[in-house]
Amino acid sequence: MEGQGAGFRKELVSKLLCLHFRDKKTRVSTDAVQLMAEMLRIFVVEAAVRGVRQAQAEDLPCVDVDQLEKVLPQLLLDF
Amino acid sequence: MEDASAEEQQRLTYQQKLKAAVHYTVGCLCKEVAADREMQFSKQTVAAISEVTFRQCENFAKDLELFARHAKRSTINTDDVKLLARRSNSLLKYITEKNEEIAQVNLEQKAKKKKKPESGNQEAAESVAEAEAVESVG
């Protein structure tokens, strides 16, 4: 299923989430971890792709922080 | 007092390790997008995306915890994740589809394990151990 392409490892996702839980008893089901890994992957890819579109609109060969800054607000609103 | 600051140090180092791992994955994903769209990403851009992703995880984690607690559960499940994806229709649709894909794959894997009793026991034990590991982390 997810053999192609890079992605977030389940163990990493689990640790990232658990880092911020306020209650020690909070746990995450394995399915939820997989789904969150996908969610994070989309987040990163969306940020990257929107950055690319911005750079293309500005006729630039490279996505720099300036382009990222322009797409960040809408990205955060969409998530 | 010394213990508290040592603990704080440990927590910061742990965070740094996680950030580094996120940065690596973000780098890989940016490379894929770059190749696909024939566009370059500056190092600062990759670092910035990585930082934003790490911070967004904090928001996600806290929201997920609150959703589960609101439903009187201590284990976060896929319904909580779907609720997280509510702000954009296309995102919600994609996540819902992915959820069904994942459920389907897991179902098929379980069916395979039932057909192979010898190796199946080993795989079942591994998946139980993985589930326990996921639960015990943090």
A47 near A68, Cβ under 8 Å?
yes
| Identity of the amino acid at A21 | F
C-alpha B65/C-alpha A35 separation (Å) is 15
pLDDT greater than 90 at residue B21: yes
Q: What confidence tens digit (pLDDT) does each residue in A22-72 have?
A: 998 999 999 999 999 999 999 999 999 999 999 999 999 999 999 999 999
Beta bridge partners of B41: A63
Give contacts of A 29-68 with B, CB under 8 A: 29-36, 38-45, 47-49, 51-52, 55-56, 61-65, 67-68
pLDDT of residue B12: 80
CA angle B31, B35, B37 (to 5 degrees): 115
Give contacts of B 59-78 with A, CB under 8 A: 60-62, 64-65, 68-69, 74-78
Q: What confidence tens digit (pLDDT) does each residue in B106-137 have?
A: 888 888 888 766 554 554 544 454 454 444 44
B1: confidence class by pLDDT, cuts 50, 70, 90: low
Alpha carbon of B118: minimum distance to chain A alpha carbons (Å): 24
* CA nearest neighbour of A27 among B7, B37, B112, B68: B68
